[in-house]
């Protein structure tokens, strides 16, 4: 099932900051998130402490996202490093 991928303003800022420090990592995050939206494949789990949120693991990075009710839209909320308070 192909889904539309949208980036929230905080997620766009996170990705831009990562791009400034490491363009290769930012590309990998973008492409892996896009692949998940298109194919549904990726290391994804539902977060139990935060209702309706999921995380996509990409190495040391986590993309926190939600899915709209229709299931056709993935909204990336944040892009954070594992040890930088991803789950708080």
What would the pLDDT profile of 8-57 be if each residue is shown by its tens digit?
999 999 999 999 999 999 999 999 999 999 998 999 999 988 788 999 99
Q: What is the pLDDT of residue 18?
A: 95
Q: What is the pLDDT of residue 44?
A: 93
Higher per-residue confidence, 18 vs 1 = 18
Helix segments in the chain, DSSP class H? 9-21, 23-39
Q: What is the pTM of this model?
A: 0.85
H or E stretch at 67: strand 61-67
**Pair of tokens at residue 52:** 């309706």
Cα–Cα dist 39/3, whole Å: 8
Distance of CA 39 to the CA centre of its chain: 14
Q: What is the pLDDT of residue 88?
A: 52
Mean local confidence (pLDDT), 52-70 = 89
Q: Which residues contact 10 (CB under 8 A, 6 or more apart)?
A: 77, 78
H or E stretch at 4: strand 4-7
Domains defined along the chain, listed by start: 4-81 (3.30.2310.20)
CA-based radius of gyration for the chain: 12
């Amino acid at each position: 099932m192909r889904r539309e991928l949208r980036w929230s303003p905080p997620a766009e800022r996170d990705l831009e900051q990562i791009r400034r420090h490491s363009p290769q990592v930012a590309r990998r995050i973008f492409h892996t998130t896009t692949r998940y939206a298109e194919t549904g494949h990726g290391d994804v789990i539902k977060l139990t402490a935060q209702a309706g949120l999921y995380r996509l693991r990409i190495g040391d990075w986590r993309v926190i996202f939600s899915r709209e009710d229709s299931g056709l839209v993935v909204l990336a909320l944040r892009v954070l490093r594992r040890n930088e308070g991803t789950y708080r």
